[in-house]
């Protein structure tokens, strides 16, 4: 062994024992006074395995609000809502949050560049080091390309796109009978997935005051745009703006289509299969 080799080995051993910030796959992981041989499996996964970066797509009423939280719990990765991230950035007073707040104060729409910036900041948190599920973004091909560019800069990439497919003609019935927990996004359906608290009036319709979230007891709501007219516009937007995202990722081999026109349990079983790496 040469003196230079000895010096290099000594330097490497010393650096591995000190507090080191390792930026791998877009996640900053701190190994505080730890040799890599002593790292936990979670540490190693965060450093060496590709993160599972997922996008959940589907038309309104396809079941994203039902299956998103299931995926989050099943894989132990956070479900990131652009709305929640935006509000958190504004509340925290981050540089991007301040810029977004200025735009919203005058009634403007927050641009894709700011949304991507907010996502970049959020996915650097420790809870995202093994992966994350994007909720509500991207909605357009331009947003998908901007997301790809940002992830590439971070050393990451979209590893899975789950498409929940339901025929348009089936969605009307789902939408008209859907109730939402506003804070979490959990959704209920009065026929197929009713809340435990639901009570019906003499006409067989749910009593609004009885519609409570199973987990929190909070009051459920019906979205103002959950009606036939609004659904038509939302479906048109989905097919014109969002479906091209599937075509964009299809050549990358990461798109998995799930038949969501079945029972919730049946769709969930299929999703679990499609979540596998192979």
Q: pLDDT class for 44, splitting at 50, 70, 90?
A: low
Q: Specify the higher pLDDT residue, 276 or 146.
A: 146
In this prediction, residue 163 carries a pLDDT of 97
**What tokens appear for 255 in the block?**
């798109």
**What tokens appear for 188 in the block?**
């209920």
The residues annotated with a catalytic role in the active site are 64, 139, 178, 223, 234
Assign residue 260 a region: left if phi > 0, alpha if psi is -120 to 50, beta otherwise?
alpha
Tell me: the pLDDT tens digits for 55-68?
999 998 899 988 99
Whether pLDDT at 29 is above 80: no
* Cα–Cα nearest to 116, from 137, 95, 102, 98: 137
Q: Pick one of 3.90.1150.10, 3.40.50.720, 3.40.50.300, 3.40.630.10 as the CATH number of 26-33+40-168+231-274.
A: 3.40.50.300
Range in 12-16, 195-199, 219-223, 261-265 the model is least confident about: 12-16
Query: CB–CB of 210/218 below 8 Å?
Result: no
Tell me: the pLDDT tens digits for 140-158?
999 999 999 999 998 899 9
Q: pLDDT class for 231, splitting at 50, 70, 90?
A: confident
Tell me: the pLDDT tens digits for 155-190?
899 999 999 999 998 888 888 888 888 888 788 888
* Cα–Cα nearest to 95, from 123, 127, 126, 121: 121
Whether pLDDT at 47 is above 60: no
Query: CB–CB of 140/241 below 8 Å?
Result: yes
Angle at 117 between CA 111 and CA 102, to 5 degrees: 50
How many residues are there in the chain?
Answer: 278
Whether pLDDT at 122 is above 50: yes
As a whole number of Å, the end-to-end CA separation of the chain is 44
Tell me: the pLDDT tens digits for 75-109?
999 999 888 888 888 888 888 888 888 887 877 77
Whether pLDDT at 3 is above 80: no
């Amino acid at each position: 062994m040469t003196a230079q080799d000895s010096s290099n080995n000594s330097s490497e051993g010393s650096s591995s024992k000190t507090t080191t910030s390792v930026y791998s796959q877009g996640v900053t992981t701190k190994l505080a006074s730890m040799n890599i041989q002593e790292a936990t499996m979670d540490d190693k996964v965060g450093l060496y395995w590709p993160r599972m970066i997922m996008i959940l797509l589907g038309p309104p009423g396809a079941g994203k609000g039902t299956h998103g939280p299931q995926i989050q719990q099943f894989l132990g990765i956070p479900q990131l809502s652009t709305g929640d991230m935006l509000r958190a950035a504004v509340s925290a007073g981050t540089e991007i949050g301040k810029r977004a707040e200025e735009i919203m104060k005058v009634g403007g729409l927050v641009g894709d560049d700011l949304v991507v910036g907010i996502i970049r900041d959020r996915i650097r948190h420790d809870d995202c080091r093994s992966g994350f599920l994007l909720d509500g973004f991207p909605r357009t091909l331009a947003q998908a390309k901007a997301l790809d560019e940002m992830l590439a800069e971070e050393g990451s990439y979209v590893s899975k796109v789950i498409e929940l497919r339901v025929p348009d003609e089936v969605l009307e019935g789902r939408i008209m009978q859907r109730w939402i927990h506003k804070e979490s996004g959990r959704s209920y359906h009065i026929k197929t997935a009713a809340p435990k608290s639901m009570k019906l009036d003499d006409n067989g319709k749910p009593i609004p005051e009885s519609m409570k979230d199973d987990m929190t007891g909070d009051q459920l709501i019906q979205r103002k745009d959950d009606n036939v007219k609004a659904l038509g516009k939302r479906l048109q937007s989905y097919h014109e703006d969002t479906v091209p995202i599937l075509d964009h990722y299809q050549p990358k081999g990461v798109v998995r289509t799930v038949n969501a026109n079945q029972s919730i349990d049946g769709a969930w079983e299929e999703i679990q299969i499609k979540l596998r790496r192979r």
